[in-house]
Amino acid sequence: MVWSFGGGSFPGEGEGAPYPDREIVEPAGFHYRNVDFANFAETMAPGIGPIGDASASGFRVKAETLPKKMRYDDARPPLDFDATEALQFVSPRAKALIERFEPGVHQFEPIEYVRSDGTHVADMFVFIVCRRLDTMDRAHTNMILYDNLRWLPAKSVRRYDPNLVPPGTDLEAPARAVFNLGQIGDAGIWRDTHITPTIYASDAIVDAIKAEGLTGFGGGPQEAVA
């Protein structure tokens, strides 16, 4: 099985739960679109697929362009998997779990969580996924790889180029994304080359997160074939 992957879900709190009282305060005025690639040349390789924002690209980024301090005034303890400003944050425990499965693959840069008065709350890490894979199964998905860039529902593709939609395609059928476990191999966490900006994770990673009681993980099972 494949899982979508995210952070920021407080245990036992469903829809309508208050957002954590926190914001990035260092650097002042931080915006995720100012995060820069560590090696821009990597993004220029043939067939690399759509890139988008550096922080969600699947490539390493310049550490100096990431946030260094988060104001955290929430009464609830910080989550092991947190998310805000289009970035993912993990605790030392979550970092250790990920690196146990994929040592040296992903990027973790330190960030301190503090109260408004400067009191230390937690040492955390900005988590940048550094693996890009083409994982969609061509035979089972009913979506179309438009212009060899991204998967789109057939109904959307018809608006751009009707010639790309095979005759007899049911344009009203719900989009069905099916992943291929063979193409994923032993990867634990990745971004798909042709799907942005979702992060995906393997059964093994998600099972370990649940077994170790790490908090904040948010995601759902995705259809997959061998």
Question: In the numeric block, which tokens belong to residue 194?
Answer: 């042709």
Q: In this structure, what DSSP letter does residue 79 have?
A: P
Taking only the tens place, the pLDDT of each residue in 104-162 is 999 999 999 999 999 999 999 999 999 999 999 999 999 999 888 899 999 899 988 89
The answer to whether 39 and 86 are in contact (CB under 8 A) is no
Length of the chain counted residue by residue? 226
User: What one-letter code names the amino acid at 15?
Assistant: E
Confidence at residue 17, expressed as pLDDT on a 0 to 100 scale = 65
Which residue bears the tokens 């061509």?
138
From the number of C-beta atoms within 10 Å of its C-beta (0-12, 13-18, 19+), residue 210 rates as exposed
Beta strands in 46-188 (DSSP E): 69-72, 81-84, 87-90, 107-114, 120-128, 132-133, 144-146, 150-152, 179-180
- Average pLDDT of adjacent 10-residue blocks, the chain of 226 residues: 89 66 95 96 88 95 98 94 95 98 98 97 98 95 90 91 90 92 97 92 96 93 95
Structure pTM?
A: 0.91
